[in-house]
């Protein structure tokens, strides 16, 4: 393994990044001592299962989506604090935290899409699979770029995990208030913007790596 590990130091600033960091600095010393960083990381497992359950129950009563939104917010809280708590207490789980944190982020994303798949009509199923592929593409891009640069970036075009969670909470609120009909026109737009964003990010990343390689070649 490399002596210098960049996976525990994310780069990039999202729209809400400064406010988020202020909250993390305030909240970290207030986390009870019996709650360890790995407890916060692993909390995503029951949260993800609860989100799937809320999607299933929302078939019969869409008010369950409000609980689903609370669980999404709670996952943001645990996911935001696990690394900060680990660093503040020198727990040392850098590589474990990197691996488990981002693996469980993927499970969390899948849980949200499964909950919508359970709730929405079958005509939306193909779009769900495409959305899953696109969001997975963002994660794969980040991990491949990290392998090439040892710099871990999960914020692109000012959008990071926090902003994505807000999008999901907004979708839940709209579903609770207006039902499923608005998705007939909004979901294709969400899909189109997601694809466009992924194309832009991949283009910018490969361009930066090309320039880096050429500069390295000149130095050699």
Query: What's the pTM value of the predicted model, to 2 decimals?
Result: 0.87
The first and second tokens of residue 64, run together, are 């369950």
- Spatial distance between the Cα atoms of 94 and 106, rounded to a whole number of angstroms: 19
43 or 16, higher pLDDT: 43
The domain tally of the chain equals 1
Q: What number is the average pLDDT over the span 181-203? A: 82
Q: Which domain holds residue 126?
A: 10-219
Task: Please list, in sequence order, all residues whose beta carbon lies within 8 angstroms of the beta carbon of residue 115, skipping any fewer than 6 positions away.
Answer: 51, 52, 54, 55, 56, 58, 68
Cα–Cα dist 208/197, whole Å: 17
Q: What is the pLDDT of residue 75?
A: 97
| Tokens 């839940």, residue located | 172
Percent of the chain with pLDDT over 90: 47
Query: Residue 80 maps to which CATH number?
Result: 1.20.120.1760
Task: Report if residue 204 sits inside a domain.
Answer: yes
Q: Tens digit of pLDDT for each residue in 103-123?
A: 999 999 999 989 988 888 777
In a domain, 208, yes or no: yes
Which pLDDT belongs to residue 1? 45
In a domain, 4, yes or no: no
Tens of pLDDT, residues 31-72: 999 999 999 999 999 999 999 999 999 988 888 999 999 999
Secondary structure class of 213 (helix, strand, coil): helix
Length of the chain in residues, anyone? 220
């Amino acid at each position: 393994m490399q002596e210098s590990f960049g996976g525990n130091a994310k780069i990039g600033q999202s729209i809400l990044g400064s406010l988020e960091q202020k909250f993390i600095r305030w909240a970290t010393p207030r986390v009870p001592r019996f709650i360890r960083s790995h407890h916060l990381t692993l909390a995503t497992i029951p949260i993800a299962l609860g989100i799937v359950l809320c999607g299933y129950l929302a078939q019969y009563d869409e008010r369950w989506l409000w609980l689903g939104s609370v669980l999404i917010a709670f996952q943001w809280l645990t996911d935001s604090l696990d690394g900060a708590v680990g660093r503040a207490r020198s727990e040392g789980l850098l590589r474990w935290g990197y691996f488990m944190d981002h693996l469980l982020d993927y499970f969390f994303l899948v849980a949200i899409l499964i909950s919508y798949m359970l709730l929405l009509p079958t005509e939306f199923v193909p779009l769900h699979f495409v959305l899953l592929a696109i969001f997975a593409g963002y994660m794969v891009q980040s991990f491949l770029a990290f392998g090439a640069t040892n710099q871990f970036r999960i914020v692109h075009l000012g959008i990071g995990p926090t902003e994505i969670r807000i999008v999901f909470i907004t979708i839940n609120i709209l579903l609770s208030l207006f039902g499923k009909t608005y998705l007939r026109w909004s979901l294709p737009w969400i899909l189109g913007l997601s694809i466009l964003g992924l194309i832009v990010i991949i283009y910018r990343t490969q361009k930066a790596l090309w320039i880096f390689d050429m500069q390295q070649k000149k130095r050699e």
